[in-house]
């Protein structure tokens, strides 16, 4: 399959940017799904700890990107369970 893509790119050089952008998009989507599966607090991989989000403190970052929030300076305003 890779040989066929390379032969098509040699015959039609205008397809090279298309292959680059599709490959970049596919790898970006794969990396984002991997990030969600590993670092999202809603995902539970451990059956011994079915609610891992209860252990997260108020200074843990939940969002992918936050503009004006410094999580290290937040106060704890909730009870411990």
pLDDT score, position 68: 72
Domains held by the chain: number: 1
pLDDT score, position 31: 97
Q: Does 63 fall in a domain?
A: yes
Domain residues for the domain of 10 are 1-73
Please tell me the distance from the alpha carbon of residue 43 to that of residue 52, in angstroms, as a whole number: 8
Q: Does 38 fall in a domain?
A: yes
Q: Does 79 fall in a domain?
A: no
pLDDT score, position 6: 87
Please tell me the distance from the alpha carbon of residue 14 to that of residue 79, in angstroms, as a whole number: 60
Per-residue pLDDT tens digits for 25-69? 999 999 999 998 888 877 778 778 777 777 776 666 666 666 777
């Amino acid at each position: 399959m890779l040989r066929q893509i390379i032969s098509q790119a040699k015959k039609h050089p205008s397809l090279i940017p298309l292959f680059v952008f599709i490959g970049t998009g596919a790898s970006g989507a794969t990396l984002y799904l991997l990030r969600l599966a590993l670092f999202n607090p809603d995902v539970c991989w451990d059956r011994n700890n079915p609610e891992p989000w209860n252990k997260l403190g108020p200074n843990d970052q939940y969002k992918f990107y936050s503009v004006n929030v410094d999580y290290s300076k937040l106060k704890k305003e909730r009870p411990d369970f």
